[in-house]
């Protein structure tokens, strides 16, 4: 009996197995298409909403008594296509040319012979038809048939293809993505003319119903990575709205609590195509020019497109960016640690200059650094939010005037102003805005450790950062590859821009289906002059 009770006690203490969280797609309401035209019209009117911009255009088919209702959203359709390719053929439709065998026969004849638009679709559900109307299509309702016809007449408001404002390049293509998904797809297709290029579209947001496209090369991208991206993108259908690619990024990234971004974004089509050629997947979101690139490595943030359009220039700038990254993260902390705890490490002449400059300054170096960094961050944010003509003036004039006034008032030392200025300049070399924000936040934490423990605090911060970075994954790929895990062959491409004829393999960390990028022996070897 006692053994039986002990067995029951052990069973009760065992943790119960939790069911795995399974992605369940939301079930949208089903609205079968009624047979009668009046019932169709009323039902669709309820689904699209009683709004003044939704037009219900009623007309007769040709010169007969067959009635048709065209439903479209005002301002989202191309009226010239609508009039010439849709309304004119149907209104001048001659029924005697088609031997009518009922409503279905007339419907099929009109669909196949009288609508001269490239893209049409038919639905057996009014919910899909309503979403087609709200997307800019024209839906035709016919009586006596349980189908509706959707004609692509979209002409959505959008800006033209212009130069990217954030991803600026010295050399290379000067066109960027726009807010229209179809335009962005065309920009990629124009550069990548290959049958293996795949676009998979889905819609996210129960209210916005935003179109999201996953793009990859079938012969290069790892199927496991593609399937993982596809699985994570199912989450977007569970939220109320997707307005920008940043919302998708938060829903699909590996570690949302990390300071470091694990998904790169760009507004340059040439950069997106280059990532596709390495075996990555890109995600396009309708309504934003910023596309997402997965998987992402840390070193991608230290590279720019024109690194590969110049020769030795690319290697020099890449090394300069890595040095600037270290300066932007650790320089104020090093100054605080040296002046507060480790004065013996400063050369005597420089130490005397610093001490003389700090005479009369009432605050310790840590407070000085926090005040100056805080003021500079406010100036930078003000310059970014104001119009360009005013923002640049506010940033430059504000920094000069405030810095000079603070020195004259003995609130900060000139050395601190120099340190903060160099740190700011170095942070501008990190072109990735999301990584630059992370560095700005982490810099304050490292300054606190340096002000309380000196060099030991900086070492602790560096160790914690490195441990965190090597533990990150981006869709299963180590974030710090090829440095961790170490791959010496590919590591040289991190610090140097290798010539085109040397880079003959794709990164092994992405596990692409085809590792070979090009044939060997492409190094230029001009023939010798013939005597």
Q: What is the pLDDT of residues 125-151, one digit of tens each?
A: 899 899 899 988 999 998 888 889 999
Average pLDDT on 325-351 reads: 91
For the ranges 6-15, 109-118, 325-334, the one whose mean pLDDT is highest: 325-334
Q: What is the pLDDT of residue 231?
A: 95
Please give the Cα distance from 37 to 60 (Å, whole number).
13
The confidence band for 445, taking pLDDT boundaries of 50, 70 and 90, is very high
199 and 132, same domain (yes or no): no
Q: Which two tokens stand for residue 412?
A: 């900060």
The dihedrals phi and psi of 162, each to the nearest 5 degrees, come to -125, 175
Q: What percentage of residues in the chain have a pLDDT greater than 70? A: 89
* Contact assessment for residue 403 and residue 379, using Cβ atoms and an 8 Å cutoff: no
- Using the structure block, give the residue that is written with the tokens 């810099």: 443
Does residue 458 sit in the same domain as residue 331? yes
Instruction: Give the DSSP letter of residue 17.
Output: P
Q: What is the model's pLDDT at position 25?
A: 45
Lowest mean pLDDT among 60-74, 155-169, 176-190, 393-407: 393-407
Q: How far, in Å, CA of 474 to CA of 481, rounded?
A: 11
Number of domains in the chain: 3
Segment 439-463 shows an average pLDDT of 94
Mean pLDDT of 178-194: 92
Classify residue 301: in a domain, yes or no: no
Can you give the residue range of the structural domain that contains 81? 37-151
The half-sphere exposure of 418 on its side-chain side, counting CA atoms within 13 A, is 6
Q: Which residue has the higher pLDDT, 480 or 314?
A: 480
Q: Does pTM surpass 0.75?
A: yes
pLDDT per position as a tens digit, 407-435: 777 888 888 888 988 998 898 888 788 89
pLDDT number for residue 20? 40
3-state DSSP helix/strand/coil % of the chain, to nearest 5 = 50, 10, 40
Asked if omega into 40 is within 30° of 0 (cis), the reply is: no
> Which of 151, 170, 193 is the endpoint of a domain?
151
Domain assignment of residue 127, yes or no: yes
Both 139 and 227 in one domain: the answer is: no
What local confidence, expressed as pLDDT, does residue 99 receive?
54
Distances in whole angstroms, Cα of residue 296 to Cα of each of 49, 236, 264, 280, 292: 42, 20, 6, 9, 9
Backbone angle region of 287, left / alpha / beta, with phi > 0 → left and psi within -120 to 50 → alpha: left
**Residues 242 and 136 placed together within one structural domain of the fold:** no
What pLDDT does residue 392 have? 65
Q: Do both 342 and 464 map to the same domain?
A: yes
Are 252 and 341 in a shared domain?
A: no
Q: Domain for residue 526, yes or no?
A: no
- Out of 473-482, 494-503, 522-531, which region has the weakest mean confidence (pLDDT)? 522-531
Residue 1: CB atoms within 10 A of its CB come to: 5
User: Residue 2: CB partners within 8 Å, gap ≥ 6?
Assistant: none
Provide the percentage of residues in the chain whose pLDDT is more than 90.
41
Check if the beta carbon of residue 196 is closer than 8 Å to that of residue 294: no
Q: Do 469 and 338 share a domain, yes or no?
A: yes
Q: Do the domain assignments include residue 487? A: no
Instruction: Report if residue 219 sits inside a domain.
Output: yes
**Least confident range of 256-265, 271-280, 398-407:** 398-407
Neighbours of 516 (CB within 10 A): 10
Q: What is the pLDDT of residue 22?
A: 43
Same domain, 243 and 333: no
Place of tokens 């610093």: 354
Residue 145: what pLDDT? 86
Residues 464 and 334 in one domain: yes
> Are residue 261 and residue 378 in the same domain, yes or no?
no
**CA dist 516 to 278, 334, 502, Å?**
10, 44, 12
371, part of any domain: yes
Give the residue from 107, 133, 151 where a domain finishes: 151
Q: Which domain-ending residue is among 134, 151, 168?
A: 151
Please report whether residue 237 resides in a domain: yes
Taking alpha carbons only, the member of 32, 97, 90 closest to residue 66 is 90
Same domain membership, residue 462 and residue 351: yes
Residue 312 CA to residue 300 CA, distance in Å, equals 19
CB 454 within 8 A of CB 338: no
* 141 phi/psi in degrees, rounded to 5: -110, 125
Q: How far is CA 460 from CA 45, 439, 456, 464, 470, in A?
A: 64, 16, 6, 6, 16
Does 316 reside within a domain? no
Is residue 290 located within the same domain as residue 332? no
Residue 183's alpha-carbon distances to 247, 312, 342, in angstroms, are: 21, 34, 58
């Amino acid at each position: 009996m006692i053994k039986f009770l002990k067995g029951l006690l052990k069973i009760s203490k065992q943790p119960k197995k939790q069911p795995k969280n399974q992605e369940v797609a939301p079930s949208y309401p089903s609205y079968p298409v009624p047979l009668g035209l009046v019932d169709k019209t009323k039902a669709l009117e309820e689904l699209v909403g009683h709004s003044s911009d939704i037009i219900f255009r009623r007309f007769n088919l040709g010169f007969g008594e067959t009635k048709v209702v065209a439903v479209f959203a005002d301002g989202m359709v191309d009226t010239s296509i609508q009039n010439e390719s849709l309304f004119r053929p149907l209104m001048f439709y001659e029924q005697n040319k088609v031997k009518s065998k009922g409503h279905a026969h007339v419907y099929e004849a009109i669909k196949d012979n009288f609508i001269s638009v490239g893209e049409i679709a038919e639905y057996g559900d009014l919910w899909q038809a309503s979403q087609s109307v709200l997307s800019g299509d024209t839906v035709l309702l016919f009586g006596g048939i349980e189908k509706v016809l959707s004609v692509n007449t979209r002409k959505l408001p959008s800006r033209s293809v212009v130069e990217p404002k954030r991803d600026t390049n010295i050399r290379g293509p000067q066109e960027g993505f726009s807010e229209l998904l179809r335009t962005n797809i065309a920009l990629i297709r124009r550069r990548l003319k290959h049958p293996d290029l795949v676009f998979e579209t889905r819609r996210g947001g129960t209210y916005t119903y935003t179109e999201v496209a996953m793009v990859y090369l079938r012969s290069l991208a790892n199927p496991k990575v593609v399937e993982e991206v596809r699985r994570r993108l199912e989450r977007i259908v569970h939220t109320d709205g997707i307005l920008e690619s940043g919302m998708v990024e938060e829903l699909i990234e590996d570690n949302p609590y990390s300071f470091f971004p694990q998904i790169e974004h760009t507004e340059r089509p040439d950069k997106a195509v280059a990532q596709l050629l390495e075996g990555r997947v890109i995600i396009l979101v309708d309504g934003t020019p910023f596309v997402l690139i997965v998987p992402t490595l840390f070193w991608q943030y230290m590279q720019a497109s024109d690194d590969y359009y110049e020769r030795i220039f690319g290697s020099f700038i890449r090394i300069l960016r890595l040095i600037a990254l270290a300066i932007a993260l650790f320089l104020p902390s090093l100054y605080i640690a040296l002046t507060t705890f480790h004065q013996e490490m400063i050369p005597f002449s420089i130490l005397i200059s610093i001490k003389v400059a700090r005479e009369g300054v009432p605050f310790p170096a840590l407070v000085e650094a926090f005040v100056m960094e805080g003021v500079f961050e406010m100036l930078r944010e003000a310059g970014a939010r104001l119009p360009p003509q005013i923002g640049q003036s506010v940033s430059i004039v504000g920094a000069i005037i405030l810095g000079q006034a603070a020195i004259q008032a003995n609130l900060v030392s000139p050395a601190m102003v120099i340190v903060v200025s160099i740190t700011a300049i170095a942070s501008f070399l990190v072109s990735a805005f999301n990584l630059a924000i992370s560095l700005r936040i982490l810099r304050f934490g490292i300054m606190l450790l340096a002000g309380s423990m000196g060099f030991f605090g900086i070492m602790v911060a560096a160790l914690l950062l490195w441990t965190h970075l090597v533990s990150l994954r981006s869709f299963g790929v180590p974030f710090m590859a090829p440095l961790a895990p170490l791959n010496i062959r590919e590591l040289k491409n991190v610090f140097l821009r290798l010539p085109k004829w040397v880079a003959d393999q794709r990164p092994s960390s992405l596990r692409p289906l085809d590792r070979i990028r090009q044939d060997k022996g492409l190094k230029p070897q001009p023939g010798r002059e013939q005597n």
